[in-house]
Structure formats: C-alpha cells, structure tokens
Copies of this chain bind each other. A is one copy, B any other.
Amino acid sequence: MSEPSESSVRADVSGWLESNWDPDLGLNEWRNKLVDSGWGMPEWPTDWFGRDFSASLVRAVEQEFAKQGAIGVARGGIRLLAAATLLEHGSTAHKEQFLRRILTGEDNWCQLFSEPGSGSDLAGATTRADLDGDQWVVNGQKLWTTSAHHANWGLLLARTDWDAPKHEGLSYFVIDMRQPGVDVQPLAQMNGHASFNQVFFDDAVVERGHLIGEIGKGWQVAMTTLAHERRRADGLRSGYSDVGADIERVGRIYDEEQVETATVMEPYTWYPQRAGRVDLALSRALDSGRIEDPTVRQELAKLLILSSSAEWTARRARAAQQMGKPQGPEGSLGKLAASHVARAAARVHTLISGADAMLAGSDGAEDGIVAEILLSVPAVSIAGGTDEIQRNIIAERVLQMPKETRFDKGPFRDVPKNVSTRLAGENE
C-alpha cells in the first residue's frame, strides 16, 4: 500500500483538528481522542494508535498541529523510549496495558539501568531478579535515575543468571515503582541540585508477566531503549519551530500542559549552566569592562572559536543527515566538543570574575549563576557517557582503531567487579 500524498495528509489532519481541537478540553480527555485518532503518533503502526507514516509525513502532521497550536501526545521524560522498547519487544498484553497511558501522560516512567558499580559499563549490572513462584524478587540498587520519584513504572535491567557471561545473564522487566520494596532517594550533587535519584530494591516484586523479551536477553532489549535515546539526543526536531509561533496559547489545556512540562523539566534547570553559558561570557566581559584586558580578549576569542566551531560542526552533521548523506565524523564529536566548550567557558568566566569567582548565591556574579557555572561544568564531561567513553567510541567506530581487549568474557560470577556501595536509605 503506497503512502498518501503530503497534501492529502495535511488536509486530513487540519480538517480533523478543526473539528476536534479545543483549548478548553482537559489534557487527558484531548489526548485520549488523539490516541484514538492515530494523529498523535502517526509514525507508529496502524495497530497501535498510529498510521505507519514516514518521517516526512510525520513532519507534515506536526506542522499542521503547530499551525493550530494543538497540543500533541505526552513526550516528556523517557516515556517514548519505553514505548519504542515495548513496541519492539513487548507482547500484545504489554502494549495493551501500557501504550495508551504513555501517550496520554497518565503514567510516568523511569529507566533503571545504571548502578553505582557499573557506570560506563551498563552491562555490569548486579541488581538481581530471582524467580520465586509467580513473581520475580528484585534486590539491588540503581543510580542516576532521572524523575524516579515521579514515575509509576520503571524499565529495569537486572541479572537473572550469574553463570552466564556478562551480557547474557541480564533480563529486562517493567517494575511497579509504587510498592513497599522500592525506595527512591534523591541524590545530592556537588552543585547543590538533585537531578537524579538512587533507587533501592529490597525484595521488590515484578509480576511474572512483566518480563520484556526472553530471560537472559535483557541486554538486547536494553540496546533498543539506548538506541532510541541516542537517536533522540542526535535528532533535530526543529525546522518548523517558527510555525505557529503567533498562536496565542490560552486555555485550560495549556495550563495543564505547563504543569506537566515543569515537572518533567525540573531536573534540567541547571543544564544551561553546566554547558558553560558562552552567551553570558561575552556580555559579562562587555558589561564589566573586563573586555579592555587583552588577556580576557584572547581567552574569550579562544572560547568563541571553540563554541562556534562546535555549533557549526553540529550543523554540518545535521545538514548531512537531512540530505541523507552518509554520517561523517562530525556527528560523533558533539559530546566531546561540549566538554571542551564547557571547560573553556568556566576558565573565561573565572578570568572575567577575578575575586568574585569566590562568591556564590546572591553575593555571586549574575546573582549566583556564575558560581553555578563553575560548579556545574564538571558534569558535562561525565554525564551521558564520560569523555573517556566518547573517545573510545570515536577511536573505535569512527577512526576504526582496534577495540580494547576484553577482560570480562567468562561467567559473570568470576568477573572482577565493584563491591556494591551501600548508601543511606537501603535496608539490607
């Protein structure tokens, strides 16, 4: 069956919106309509709330939504990674249970992969799931779990076989986060924020049917989740960001959406600061008069060269992607470039600040934002894959240099691993 034409799709969706879209609806009511209509997730299969559309048609649909200021399905957090994973590896029962409420925003999800003992080495997870009668009993600890305190469901990677090699002893589950055996604790960061949680499992249970994929094949399922995560990070959803910019966003549904967005975005409030705030560096140098110092000009110029070049490199990567050209090396470099930019920005902010760099809070420059920059910058080169991992990836995948020798091939039981760190909040 050939795809419909873009113009017919545009006509269909705008017609449907004209009949159905109403800013005074409740968010949940509207989204249920949307899910039923297939316009909310047109790239999804027709069996599951979608229309099996190609990317270009999806863009057309999104543009029509934007033109009318219509709100789409819920997208915040990791819900769409969960959905993509369930679509690929879940049973019909899983899809029936979870997909709709993912799109309506009624359910919130979190991703339970990372552990204190396995940072860069996700497959080294030691949280265990043991089958006991009709349920899996989970014990262990996860870390770096964004929004775990808002989630009612978690995507859990846990070890079910200790005698298999590392990657073959893991299984993948959906776990109910609102049960006594699950304890979510915020994790304070050195910059004073707490964007992540620790999650402790103490005889927590997963019902037998909530295994996703096969026992021992959890790593493959997790790879699906991670691939979608990477795609999201690389992807460019703009290109029509100015469409519908003149729509006045008034109505009950916008207010409800704003609350939802605020909750989802709360862990990320300090992210502009961790990126180094290059924008502020220039204006601070000008406003403070520090621009008169030739050393400040030299260092600022270095920063601007670096950050502009990084931005243009990202644009080159996107342009190539949009033209369907093969991915050049420029695509893999963004994360590493961001670390360099952030560190250089911190240096320049310090140089501009002088003694003021010793101050924070309301005493600090720019009402404490500069202090937050200085204390947040170290996160860029760690979070989401350390610089070391990025360099490995670039060397091995882009430059085709030899892979590191593996030291973790035998039964996982025998692989050297970290003694689990037991922090406050856990009862053994």
Contacts and interface: CB of A to CB of B under 8 A. Distances in A.
A262 to B, nearest CB: 46
Contacts of A294: 293-295
A298 interface: yes
A405 interface: yes
Interface string A287-314: 0000001110010000000000000000
A272 B293 CA distance: 35
Interface in A394-425: 405
Nearest to A405: B405
Nearest to A299: B298
For chain A, the bracket of interface size reads: under 10
Nearest to A294: B294
Contacts of A295: 294-295, 298
Copies per complex of this chain: 2
Nearest to A297: B295
A294 B292 CA distance: 12
Nearest to A407: B405
A302 to B, nearest CB: 11
A350 to B, nearest CB: 15
7 contacts: A293-B294, A294-B294, A294-B295, A295-B295, A295-B298, A298-B298, A405-B405
Contacts of A405: 405
A306 B293 CA distance: 24
A298 B299 CA distance: 11
Interface string A376-392: 00000000000000000
A395 to B, nearest CB: 15
A268 to B, nearest CB: 37
A298 B297 CA distance: 13
Contacts of A293: 294
Interface in A11-68: none
A293 B294 CA distance: 9
A403 to B, nearest CB: 13
A180 B15 CA distance: 96
Interface in A331-365: none
Nearest to A298: B295
A295 B295 CA distance: 6
A293 B297 CA distance: 13
A137 to B, nearest CB: 37
A293 to B, nearest CB: 8
Nearest to A293: B294
Closest 7 pairs between A and B when the two form their complex, measured CB to CB: A294-B294, A295-B298, A294-B295, A405-B405, A295-B295, A293-B294, A298-B298
A121 to B, nearest CB: 17
A145 to B, nearest CB: 32
A294 B293 CA distance: 9
A394 to B, nearest CB: 19
A303 to B, nearest CB: 15
A350 B225 CA distance: 51
A295 B293 CA distance: 10
A363 B405 CA distance: 52
A293 B298 CA distance: 12
A295 B298 CA distance: 8
A45 B405 CA distance: 50
Contacts of A298: 295, 298
A417 B187 CA distance: 51
Interface in A269-296: 293-295
A402 to B, nearest CB: 11
A347 to B, nearest CB: 13
A405 B405 CA distance: 9
Interface in A123-175: none
A344 to B, nearest CB: 16
A180 B293 CA distance: 68
